């Protein structure tokens, strides 16, 4: 359900965002719910399924990431998966209720040549199954973005991850501007943008608001905004971070919902460390998508049986219709 011509703002100031974020929780949730209900069905969440199509050995040094070659983690490196294996996984995902299938690869940038052609084939296959297709392959050239668009890619995931000021504490092998440039290429190719970040990496409230400001001042807004709670993986520099207060996740989601009313806000990584009640609060705050299945890319996720039971308890359900790509202009 969408409402005609929503008023979307792209000029949010940091102080405005901080005021929203820090408002009393009942006020914050009320405002987020009001915005949410004007643009989305409050009892539905989209189910997305993730598959790691090329795992580990990544040359980037993202401090949170178990797939970085800079850190010694339990992740086993793999080559690019075969089209056959990915077709099987996508078919299973659809059977489990997913309407979006996301393929992730641990690359600094998308490769040229045969491997890229193979990814294009995967995109066509997923679209052929009637699901939205999303990829996250690292940085793209304009030509690669255009080819992905031609293959029918619905969305490209490329997260800003954190605020521009905090970014250097987390990643040194590429810049914030590199990220923004890829997002621009994706947008120019006509692919919808999926971009969000991670909370719980030691940033403060101002940092979270600055990240949200970066996302909400993109014009159009990203159609999809994944909010990840750091999964603290043994061997990564952030393994011993103190656990983030789930209420901060709820506040981040509610603020994202208020700033970007028509976007999908995705409750992404980190659900294994959230109670069902905390997840319910995230839905009240305007999250309208989750990843299904027992695995994200390399780390565990609650799994479909648990999620079905949770949604059932909440009187909610997975979205069954598949808008082949979000119909609304997004932002």
Q: Which residues are catalytic?
A: 58, 62, 65, 102, 134, 194, 266
The pattern of x and - marking residues 119 through 158 that bind ligand DTB according to CB under 6 A reads: -----------------x--------------------x-
Distances (CA, A) of 325 to 55, 94, 175, 261: 27, 16, 29, 17
> If binding means CB under 6 A, how many residues of this protein chain bind ligand DTB?
17
For 234-249, give one letter per residue: b (16+ CB within 10 A) or e.
eebbbeeeeebebebb
Distances (CA, A) of 314 to 46, 284, 288, 292, 310: 15, 10, 13, 17, 6
Give the nearest distance from C-beta 164 to ligand SF4 in angstroms.
Answer: 17
Decide: is 231 part of the binding site for ligand DTB (CB under 6 A): yes
Q: Residue 28 or 93: which CB sits closer to ligand SAM?
A: 93
| Contact of residue 158 among ligand SAM, ligand SF4, ligand DTB, none (CB under 5-8 Å per partner type) | ligand SAM
Give the nearest distance from C-beta 104 to ligand DTB in angstroms.
Answer: 5
User: Cα–Cα distance between 180 and 201 in angstroms, integer?
Assistant: 21
Decide: is 213 part of the binding site for ligand DTB (CB under 6 A): no
Which phi-psi region, left, alpha or beta, contains residue 44 (left: φ > 0; alpha: ψ -120 to 50)? Answer: beta
Q: Residue 8 or 103: which CB sits closer to ligand SF4?
A: 103
Residue 265, classified by CB atoms within 10 Å of its CB into exposed (0-12), middle (13-18) or buried (19+), is: buried
Decide: is 106 part of the binding site for ligand SF4 (CB under 6 A): yes
Nearest to 93 by CA among 43, 42, 53, 149: 53
Q: Residue 21 or 167: which CB sits closer to ligand SAM?
A: 167
Which region among 57-65, 109-117, 119-127, 309-317 touches ligand SF4 (by CB under 6 A)? Answer: 57-65
Decide: is 60 part of the binding site for ligand SF4 (CB under 6 A): yes
The pattern of x and - marking residues 116 through 155 that bind ligand SF4 according to CB under 6 A reads: ----------------------x-----------------
DSSP letters spanning 175-201: -HHHHHHHHHHHHHHTPEEE--EEE-S
Alpha-helical segments (H) within 221-293:
246-259, 276-284
Q: How many residues does the chain have?
A: 331
Give the three-class secondary structure for 81: coil
Alpha-helical segments (H) within 5-131:
14-21, 25-39, 83-95, 114-128
| Contact of residue 230 among ligand SF4, ligand SAM, ligand DTB, none (CB under 5-8 Å per partner type) | ligand SAM
Residues lying near ligand SF4 in the complex (CB under 6 A): 58, 60, 62, 65, 67-68, 106, 138
Residues lying near ligand DTB in the complex (CB under 6 A): 50, 66, 102, 104, 136, 157, 159, 196, 226, 228, 231, 268-269, 296-299
């Amino acid at each position: 359900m969408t409402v005609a011509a929503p008023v979307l703002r792209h000029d949010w100031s940091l102080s405005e965002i901080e005021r929203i974020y820090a408002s009393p929780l009942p006020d914050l949730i009320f405002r987020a719910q009001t915005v949410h209900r004007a643009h989305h069905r409050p009892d539905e969440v989209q189910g997305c399924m993730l598959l790691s199509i090329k795992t580990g050995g990544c040359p980037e040094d993202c401090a949170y990431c178990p797939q970085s070659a800079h850190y010694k983690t339990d992740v086993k490196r793999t080559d690019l998966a075969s089209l056959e294996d990915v077709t099987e996984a996508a078919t299973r995902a659809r059977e489990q209720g997913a309407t979006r299938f996301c393929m992730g690869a641990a690359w600094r940038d998308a490769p040229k040549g045969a491997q890229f052609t193979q990814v294009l084939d995967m995109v066509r296959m997923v679209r052929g199954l009637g699901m939205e297709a999303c990829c996250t392959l690292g940085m793209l050239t304009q030509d690669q973005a255009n080819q992905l668009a031609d293959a029918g890619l619905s969305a490209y995931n490329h997260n800003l991850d954190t605020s521009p000021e905090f970014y250097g504490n987390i990643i040194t092998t590429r810049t914030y501007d590199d990220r923004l440039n890829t997002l621009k290429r994706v947008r120019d190719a006509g692919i919808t943008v999926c971009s969000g970040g991670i909370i719980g990496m030691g940033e403060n409230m101002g940092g979270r608001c600055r990240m949200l400001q970066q996302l909400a001042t993109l014009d159009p807004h990203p159609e999809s905004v994944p909010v990840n709670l750091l999964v603290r993986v043994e061997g990564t520099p952030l393994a011993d971070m103190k656990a983030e207060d789930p209420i901060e996740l709820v506040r981040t989601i509610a603020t994202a919902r208020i700033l970007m009313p028509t976007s999908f806000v995705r409750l992404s990584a980190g659900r294994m460390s959230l109670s069902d009640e905390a997840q319910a609060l995230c839905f009240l705050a305007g999250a309208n998508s989750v990843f299904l299945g027992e695995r994200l890319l390399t780390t565990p996720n609650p799994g479909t049986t648990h999620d079905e039971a949770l949604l059932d308890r909440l009187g909610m359900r997975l979205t069954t219709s598949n808008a082949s790509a979000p119909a609304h202009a997004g932002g």
